[in-house]
Amino acid sequence: MPISIIRQPLSTVDAPWVAAGIFDKEPAADLRGTGAEALAARLLEEKEIKGGVGDTVPLYEPAGFRSPALLLFGLGAKAKLDARAAFSAGVALSRRLAGKPRERVAVSVAAILEAGDAPLVSALVEGITVGMRGPGLRKTEPNRHPFPFDLIAPEGTSDEGVAELERLAARGAIVGEAVNEARRMVNTPPSEKAPAVLAEAIRDAASACGVTAEAWTEARIREERFGGLLGVAAGSDEPPAFVTLEYQGAGDAPFLAIVGKGVTFDSGGLSLKPTSSMEDMKADMTGAAVAAATIIAAARLGLRVNVRGYLALTENMTGGRAMKLGDVLTMRNGKTVEVLNTDAEGRLILADALSYAAEAAPARMVDLATLTGACIVGLGTRIAGLFANDDDLAGDVAAAAETTGERVWAMPMDDDFKDALKSGVADLKNVGGKWGGAITAAKFLEEFVAGIPWAHLDIAGPSWVDGENSTRDAGGTGCFVRTLVAYLERSAGA
């Protein structure tokens, strides 16, 4: 259902629930002069509520309101409102309300417009959309009840202003739904998303949105000599799959290639992971899910960009035909790799996918991969490692991330890190030494990009949340869909 913009004073809105932002020191403008102003001010003054991002307080029967219920949602410090705060506040708002069925919610954007730019309205809508869906995909009693919502614009908003809000709301819903789609794929139990099953689901979802999509089976993968993908898949009873996606929104202009790691379950292979490290390894296909969701969102938004996706999908298992330590694989680009740790499987499948993508001569390539635990050691769970062979591209990715509040940190790519990958038997080995594991992994990938401007996001940390809080659900995050959509919009000059 499209989100409509209601232009009238908050207190006159006829909806079962209205929601309004508050800052950490003061109620926002649209509460002023209403029966809720004194109440909100008192709650803040008494420190019963903080007005911080993620705080929510329901008030029933607010004096002078047409609506029987008002949810106050915190936006933090007024001077610090940014996309991350607006998104998180939106998540908290809808997590709070979606616990029960709600007929309709009308959300005021007055506070957002008072403190920031109109585009933050999209971030709020993205957050509201994301907060409606949780990780409880297989609960017999649903614990999340998505609700329809509208936005309330301040009374004085111009017609153009309303039109702009309509556009931002529609954008926010599409982007939020793309994040949810990626989260849903990640949160799906691993045995329900075998590579071929996931490939076909992605192909069908993409085709339905005007994206040209192909899903290769194992026979084609063998014909195309994807030695890395076949090597990793050898230990599984499930065949691998490879998906190509193409959205052409800008005629014959150059295209961006987005490459995704799609390990639907990473047991580690013969270099088996301990149970505690294996628990979340259904999320090892986050890169592929995010790449697909981004391209689908670009198509749904009608962005004037050209973008192609390359998703390498496989399980990493321990079957009787599993690759063994010391085995040598020949990758798509002809380079040979000695496998000395079967748990460093992501780089093996990305090697083929990057080589193949590079053959189509994209202007730039970005890959997303839950690649290394080392990246989490270095940067923690909320920041992605950003590695690149091109400073302009790295700068553009970082600038896009800045606009969404998703966090990246540029990492070194000095050539001496490559020394750790020397093999006595083959061109490379698939593991470096003990130190700098996220960097040696990136240097490995660089061997397969054929000199094309390329950036690699190691999303092992931000792909997954262990413990929920009011602004984040546990489970898959769909991280960097929002940033990549922003990147594409910026590259289109939108």
Active-site positions read 273, 347
State the minimum distance, in angstroms, from the CB of residue 346 to Zn ion.
5
Rounded-to-integer distance, Cα 470 and Cα 190, Å: 27
**Nearer Cβ to Mn ion, position 126 or 345?**
345
224 Rama class: left (phi>0) / alpha (psi -120 to 50) / beta: alpha
**Nearer Cβ to ligand BES, position 88 or 370?**
370
**Nearer Cβ to ligand BES, position 174 or 460?**
460
Q: Which of 249, 480, 248 has the alpha carbon at shortest distance from 368?
A: 480
* Residue 212 tokens, joined: 């040209």
**Residues constituting the chain:** 494
State the minimum distance, in angstroms, from the CB of residue 284 to ligand BES.
4
Q: Are strands 17-22 and 105-108 parallel, antiparallel or unpaired?
A: parallel
Cβ within 8 Å of residue 89, ≥6 positions away: 21, 53, 54, 73, 74, 75, 76, 124, 127, 471
Interaction partner, residue 431 (Zn ion, ligand BES, Mn ion, none; CB < 5-8 Å by kind): ligand BES
Interaction partner, residue 294 (Mn ion, Zn ion, ligand BES, none; CB < 5-8 Å by kind): none
- For position 458 contacting Mn ion by CB under 5 A, the verdict is no
Q: Which of 198, 406, 192, 411 has the alpha carbon at shortest distance from 286?
A: 198
Interaction partner, residue 439 (Zn ion, ligand BES, Mn ion, none; CB < 5-8 Å by kind): none
* Beta strand segments in 349-493, E: 364-369, 383-388, 407-410, 428-429, 454-458, 464-465, 475-476
Stretch binding Mn ion (CB under 5 A), from 152-160, 163-171, 318-326, 343-351: 343-351
State CA 430 to chain mean position distance: 27
Judged by DSSP in three states, 8 sits in coil
- For position 343 contacting Mn ion by CB under 5 A, the verdict is yes
Stretch binding Zn ion (CB under 5 A), from 15-23, 61-69, 258-266, 474-482: 258-266
Rounded-to-integer distance, Cα 132 and Cα 300, Å: 20
Contact 69, 17 (CB under 8 A): yes
Q: Which of 475, 484, 388, 438 has the alpha carbon at shortest distance from 136?
A: 475
**Nearer Cβ to ligand BES, position 239 or 437?**
437
One of 21, 228, 346, 462 touching Zn ion (CB under 5 A):
346
State the minimum distance, in angstroms, from the CB of residue 442 to Zn ion.
15
**Nearer Cβ to Mn ion, position 294 or 370?**
370
463 Rama class: left (phi>0) / alpha (psi -120 to 50) / beta: alpha
State the minimum distance, in angstroms, from the CB of residue 404 to ligand BES.
21
Looking at residue 4, the DSSP 8-state letter turns out to be P
CB-based closest residue to Zn ion = 266
One of 238, 266, 338, 447 touching Mn ion (CB under 5 A):
266
State the minimum distance, in angstroms, from the CB of residue 68 to ligand BES.
45
Interaction partner, residue 341 (Mn ion, ligand BES, Zn ion, none; CB < 5-8 Å by kind): ligand BES
State the minimum distance, in angstroms, from the CB of residue 369 to Zn ion.
8
One of 37, 238, 266, 489 touching Zn ion (CB under 5 A):
266
- For position 284 contacting Zn ion by CB under 5 A, the verdict is yes
- For position 315 contacting Zn ion by CB under 5 A, the verdict is no
Q: Which of 406, 435, 410, 408 has the alpha carbon at shortest distance from 420?
A: 435
Footprint on this chain of ligand BES (rule: CB under 6 A)? 266, 284, 341, 343-346, 370-374, 431, 437, 460
CB-based closest residue to ligand BES = 373
State the minimum distance, in angstroms, from the CB of residue 419 to ligand BES.
16
Contact residues: Mn ion, CB under 5 A: 266, 343, 345
Contact residues: Zn ion, CB under 5 A: 263, 266, 284, 346
